[in-house]
Chain A
Amino acid sequence: KNEVEQSPQNLTAQEGEFITINCSYSVGISALHWLQQHPGGGIVSLFMLSSGKKKHGRLIATINIQEKHSSLHITASHPRDSAVYICAVRAGTASKLTFGTGTRLQVTL
């Protein structure tokens, strides 16, 4: 079993829909990162969180440490949100991030 599991693997939504992407992990973590990989391949960091909730524009990230689960929500989705969303965790005192395989999101008009 991978340490970091994302669901769904693929997601298609219509413009305006509310989107949720899930990340579950099997180890105790000290931080969780959400990243966005554009169709052209570039990777951008969206959030880093260790508890609670963070919001940036239409993006909201939440984490439940007890349940070992995080969600990334996109409100009022737009075609420009089409990308691969990647969850990564820092396990305990590890000196590296462990990455999930990503959720491919396509938002259509």
Chain B
Amino acid sequence: NAGVTQTPKFQVLKTGQSMTLQCAQDMNHNSMYWYRQDPGMGLRLIYYSASEGTTDKGEVPNGYNVSRLNKREFSLRLESAAPSQTSVYFCASSEAWIGILSSYNEQFFGPGTRLTVL
């Protein structure tokens, strides 16, 4: 039982390049989330998927796209990377979507991807 896994762990891109961050969970969770973490700021939600087949924008969606490939996998794509997207990206999952208050709202986080855009 690996929990939430993310690949890659580290990535360096040049401005304008594209890439996809992969995330998978093996806990049969319904909801998945992508966050970014920047120095001096709290985690911010980029996109989320409340359930398989749905995706919605979070606080900072510009420059990103997501795909909920199946119940296990939720990918984040940067189509044309910019230096402002240099950050640490975390994927998380929860059994119940945070939008519905539940004792199953606890979020489980992946190890993070450190992305640098030059």
Contacts and interface: CB of A to CB of B under 8 A. Distances in A.
A50 B106 CA distance: 13
Interface residues of B, number: 27
Q: Output the residue of A31, A42, A90, A95 with the most chain B CB within 10 A.
A: A95
A98 interface: yes
Contacts of B97: 95
B98 interface: yes
Main secondary structure of the interface of B (DSSP, over half): loop
B48 A99 contact: no
- Chain A interface category by residue count: 20 to 34
Contacts of B44: 99
Residue among A4, A43, A45, A88 having the largest count of chain B Cβ atoms under 10 Å: A43
Given A42-B112, A96-B48, A96-B59, A88 B42 contact: yes
B41 A101 contact: yes
A40 B110 CA distance: 12
B101 interface: yes
A101 B108 contact: no
16 contacts: A4-B42, A35-B109, A40-B111, A41-B111, A43-B90, A43-B112, A44-B109, A48-B105, A90-B101, A94-B99, A95-B98, A96-B58, A97-B98, A99-B42, A99-B43, A99-B44
